[in-house]
Amino acid sequence: MLQVSEELCIGCGLCEESCPFAAIAVVDGLAVVGDTCTLCGACVESCTPGALTIVLAEKSGATRLTDWSGVWVYAEFRKGELAPVSLELLGIGRQLADTRGVPLAALLIGAETGDAARQLIGHGADTVYLVEDPALALFREEPYAAVATAAIRRFRPEIVLAGATAIGRSFIPGVATLLDAGLTADCTALAIRAEDGALLQTRPAFGGNIMATIVCEESRPQMATVRPKVMKALVFDAQRQGEVVVLDTTAGQLASRVQVLESVVGQAAEVNIQEADILVSGGRGLESAEGFALLRRLAEVLGAKVSASRAVVDAGWIPYPHQVGQTGKTVAPKLYIACGISGAIQHVAGMQTAETIVAINRDPNATIFSVADYGIVGDLSEVIPKLIDKIEELRQR
Amino acid sequence: MKICVCIKQVPDAKEVRLDPVTNTLAREGVQSIMNPFDEHALEEAVRLRESVGGEVVAVSMGPPQAEAMLREAISCGADRAVLVSDRAFAGADTWATAYTLEHALRRIGDFDLILCGKQAIDGDTAQVGPGLATRFAIPYVACVQKIRHADATGLVVERMMDDGYDVVAVDYPVLLTVVKDINEPRVPSLKGKMKAKKETILHLNAADIGAEPAAIGLAGSPTRVVKVFPPEARGGRAMLSGTVDEQVAQLAERLRRYL
Amino acid sequence: MDYFLTEQQQMIVDIARQLTDEKIIPHRAELDEQHQFPREILKQMAQADLFGVPIPEAYGGFGGGCLDIALTVEQFGRGCIGVGTAFAANFLGVYPIIIAGSEAMKEKYLPDVATGKKFGAFGLTEANAGSDASGIQTTAVLDGDHWVLNGTKQWITNGGEAQIYAVVAITDRSRGPRGASILVVEEGDPGFSCGPKEKKMGIRASSTTELIFKDCRIPADRLVGRQGTGFITVMKTLDLSRPGIGALGVGLAQGALDEAARYAKQRQQFGKPIIAFQAVQHMLADMAIGVESARALVYAAARHIDAHPKEMSKVSAMCKAYATDVAMKVATDAVQVMGGYGYMCEYPVEKMMRDAKILQIYEGTNQIQRNVIGQELNKEYS
């Protein structure tokens, strides 16, 4: 718990300022901790007099950390294809493994994986642990979690990374639970702490309003998921050498109480805004579903896909798969045109890695302008039609 | 059928802004709300009870103030509610939260179905639901967008995937996490509000649920926050100037390489 | 302002407010544009128990009075009076049953109304009987144990959507006003049909049709109350329902004020938000005075009616006429504050202005309301 030293506290209120959760307040010259405290430690850092400490209960049975070594990436394979995020993870995984001076391995689970192992090696893996069985063709939580857990227990990697995809987010938490391991979701940066080699996992928290760096100090493996398009894959190198280790499965591992009746590829693929090079994105400033129609015309002219802020999705103008941001998708298109989006931090968290950002907003003080490369202050109903005309004109020239 | 819905009280992210001057959170008037995904889980639980019968119990781990949210859950159709609350739970990560909820649920009763929102909007981890099911050693299906069929023995559901959806069948007991597309939550009913006002909310603390002190709260969390800091602004802004026509012309020129 | 509502009334307001914000406002533009009846929203209202508010407790309702229903429809009116009208007109069709229906009739219909399973409409107006209801041509003739209806009702709200229609028909032409009766016609009765939906200036989410009776045969027990008491029941029904129309006006005016004030804070001209200009401030201030005074009168009138059900005509007429005149004025001013934007369909105030007009016309034009008030004054000072 968070302890306040009555002797040291001078009631200066620095802690109050620093707390992201409004959980500490100065009452009668003394800091008082409220029930919403999450023990994040922001106040401890801010407290110049050093009056705040986080007191921990004794831990029992800590893992022997030195028994665990190596970096693993879960390679997601579905319907004959590797998920691009797996290759991106090999990119960051390579850096982490090299810093630690340990090998990088990929854990490939699926059926008829073809040359996927080759691709993983070409993108940076030293070893591919392959678990292949027809029973793993369709994704089911239980067998995937069972085979992954068994492999991790056997080879004891210190770090396990997975893509924050539908599949990764579904079974990786189960694996972490079975291993009693710490798991950090949606990391945007991963690094090795110099003094003890621990994995520094940085992720947005509280709707992206603060960034938090997280470590697992006393347990292994250290597990993290990363969203697609956050990390960069290495260029494929056909000459790279690596080893493929085939792992056996047991009937028990492959058993599942969940039965997949049908796998439908649909709508979601058509609106995969993460794959788009250009996104035209609409926010509350569009005022109405009609305003959205204007946006679609701009997207058509640009050959872009349409995305939206959460407010617009909540208003029902466009379905959820189009949502960009902390609770939607993270996108990194070449061009992102934000129309009538105020730039709430949770939205910005989902699009700030776009190559070029254009913001069009009526409010000159909208925070979106602070992340934009180009900004136009004006009314969408005036600016967008003019922009459409101008682009068509440029095209014809 | 006995249905448990796990719900969490979260700050309303829509109202949270960074103060551009001090770069701290402008939290004036930020209200606590029921996690939006959990509203959909609760709605689905109530609909299931309406179609196949049974009981819906809403369970939340959180500070004493979360009781108000549990009353809201009752006004929206939950039969009763349990608040799992203890200062010792503070600082729990997803592992310690799943541990705590597991012990609480074991104490409350046997459930055929546990429903959770896909994730909470303050942490966005989507880990507690799967973690909880794994602790119970029951199957789970994450990101359910539709329950196609429900009867006394099991469910057929659609699970959202990145490239579409899977149709899966599973028997009870099972845990589902749901996405927002699954339904449109109802507003509270007048009868529900009246019931919510009168209902006694069961409070359980760490001792009540038989939790090990070393496994709860910050002590029980494998992950530790070591640093918090404001996100970096991207910067590099170039406001275009002139009339709207001039600005549009400048912009279109600069975007030429994307055409 | 604090109107000292009871705990239950505050609950009703909270539920209706949430429903308006979450279920009505996001869909109102679409409903208006597509002339679409809000079936889904009415389902949500039923689920929230709001159809049970004015139904007596013995029939599964909450036994609420005029004020309770006014509080409910005020919120709906803030979102969309088209939706609010559909909800309110349901009770117009049900009040005659509550006021004058037999025990058996109440048991037959009211529980289903309270849960939203059945929906009502009120068939009074005809082509030649508007403000002057004595011009009614529709007839009902007793033939054995059945009534046979002939005639056409015009501009009936919820026509084609309701299952229960309280229809005013002449059962004895020789007795003048004492020859009118109310009968309940059900959806699907032989010889009963509804005309096509009318196209309207506003409240496009509500359904307005003709009710057509061609030798429509209904069982004798569908007569509401005694034969010949139709007009008295009509007057009581309208007296009870008018504060609801006033409340729709209060809601609409509040919604228009909200939009205009928010816009005025945000819109910059000459380097500052336009709310900083006195010309705009004064308009907003007058709008706010109108809204609050209309609300105060509607609530006071509704409370008076709940306490003194025998003397309600004058206060009922006063609050209807005043609150709906305010609604028209405030909606028009909201468009003015918002200037060109206000006139555009992207913003909701142009719809509010189109919608507001009907409030001054239906359930007795505001001129008729003033007649009622004038006649009462004439009596009081005699």
DSSP result, C43-84: HHHHHTTGGGTTS-GGGTS----HHHHHHHHHHHHHH-HHHH
Q: Do C60 and C68 touch, CB atoms closer than 8 A? A: no
DSSP string, A77-143: EETTEE-HHHHHHHHHHHHHHHHHT--EEEEEEES--TTHHHHHHHTT-SEEEEEE-GGGSS--HHH
Q: With an 8 Å Cβ cutoff, is A345 touching chain B?
A: yes
Q: In this complex, do A78 and B163 lie within 8 Å of one another by their Cβ atoms?
A: yes
> What pLDDT shows up at residue A173?
95
Strands B9-11 and C139-143: unpaired
For C344, residues 6+ apart whose C-beta sits below 8 A from its C-beta are: A381, C350
Instruction: Pull the structure tokens for residue C278.
Output: 């006195």
| Phi-psi category of residue A48: left, alpha or beta, with phi > 0 → left and psi -120 to 50 → alpha | alpha
Amino acid at C279: A
Contact check, Cβ <8 Å, C12/B191: no
CA atoms of B98 and B161, how far apart (whole Å) = 24
Interface test with C, best of A287, A295, A361 (most C CBs within 10 A): A287
Q: Give me the sign of the Cα torsion angle C90, C91, C94, C96.
A: negative
Q: Is B232 exposed, middle or buried (0-12, 13-18, 19+ CB in 10 A)?
A: exposed
CB contact under 8 A, C346 and A381: yes
- State yes or no: pLDDT of C126 exceeds 80: yes
Q: B173: cis peptide before it, omega within 30°?
A: yes
Joined together, the tokens standing for residue B162 give: 């990145």
pLDDT tens-digit map of C35-78: 999 999 999 999 999 999 999 999 999 999 999 999 999 999 99
Residue ranges, chain B, pLDDT below 50: 20, 23
Active site residue C350: no
**Nearest residue to C296 via CA among C242, C243, C334:** C243
**Cβ of residue A103 closer than 8 Å to a chain B Cβ:** no
Residue type, C97: I
Q: Which residues of A touch B235 (CB under 8 A)?
A: 370-371
pLDDT, tens digit (0-9, with 9 covering 90-100), for C194-224: 999 999 999 999 999 999 999 999 999 999 9
Domains parsed from chain B with CATH numbers: 2-233 (3.40.50.620)
Q: Does A22 touch chain B (CB under 8 A)?
A: yes
Domains and CATH numbers, chain A: 2-54 (3.30.70.20), 65-253 (3.40.50.620), 268-390 (3.40.50.1220)
In this predicted structure, which of A227-241, A321-335, C76-90 has the lowest mean pLDDT?
A321-335
Domains and CATH numbers, chain C: 7-119 (1.10.540.10), 121-229 (2.40.110.10), 231-380 (1.20.140.10)
What integer pLDDT is reported at residue C227 of this predicted model?
A: 94
Report CA torsion sign: C325, C328, C331, C333: negative
- Tell me, yes or no, if B191 comes closer than 8 A to chain C by beta carbon: yes
* Mean pLDDT in residue range A87-102: 96
Q: Calculate how close chain C gets to B190, using CA atoms only, in Å.
A: 6
pLDDT at A277 over 90: no
Instruction: Please tell me if residue C114 touches chain B, with a CB cutoff of 8 Å.
Output: no
- CA of C202, closest CA in chain A: separation in Å? 19
Residue A37 has phi, psi (to 5 degrees) of -60, 130
Using a CB–CB cutoff of 8 Å, tell me whether C50 touches chain B.
yes
Give the whole-angstrom CA distance, residue C50 versus residue C45.
6
CA distance B149 to B47: 12
A97 CA: distance to closest CA in chain C (Å): 50
- For residue A268, the model assigns a pLDDT of 47
Quick one: tokens of A376? 């136009």
Note whether C15 contacts B191, CB cutoff 8 Å: no
Using the Cβ of B12 and the Cβ atoms of chain C, whether some distance falls under 8 Å is answered with no
pLDDT at A60: 46
Strand C180-186 and strand C223-224: the pairing is: antiparallel
Q: How buried is A119 (Cβ within 10 angstroms: 0-12 exposed, 13-18 middle, 19+ buried)?
A: buried
Whether the CB-CB separation of C370 and C325 falls below 8 Å is answered with no
Contact residues on chain B for A211, CB-CB shorter than 8 A? 228-231
Query: How far apart, in whole angstroms, are the C-alpha atoms of residue A79 and residue A131?
Result: 15
Question: Which of C115, C247, C117, C105 lies closest to C166 in space, CA to CA?
Answer: C105
Closest residue in chain C to residue B188, using alpha carbons only: C48
Q: Which of C107, C186, C363, C380 is catalytic?
A: C363
CB within 8 Å: A174 and B64: no
Which chains have at least 3 CB atom pairs separated by less than 8 Å from chain A?
A: B, C
In chain A, pLDDT over 90 holds for what percent of residues? Answer: 47
> Is the Cβ pair A382, B244 closer than 8 Å?
yes
Q: pLDDT tier at A25 (50, 70, 90 boundaries)?
A: confident
Residue C74 near residue C29, CB atoms below 8 Å? no
Are A185 and A203 within 8 A, CB to CB?
Answer: yes
Asked if A383's CB is within 8 angstroms of B247's CB, the reply is yes
β-strand C164-170 against C180-186: which pairing, if any? antiparallel
- State the average pLDDT over residues C256-271: 90
pTM of the model: 0.82
Q: Is A176 on the interface with B (CB under 8 A)?
A: yes
Q: What is the pLDDT of residues A64-93, one digit of tens each?
A: 788 899 999 999 999 889 999 999 999 999
**What token pair was written down for B107?**
């104490």
The interface predicted TM-score of the complex, written ipTM, equals 0.90
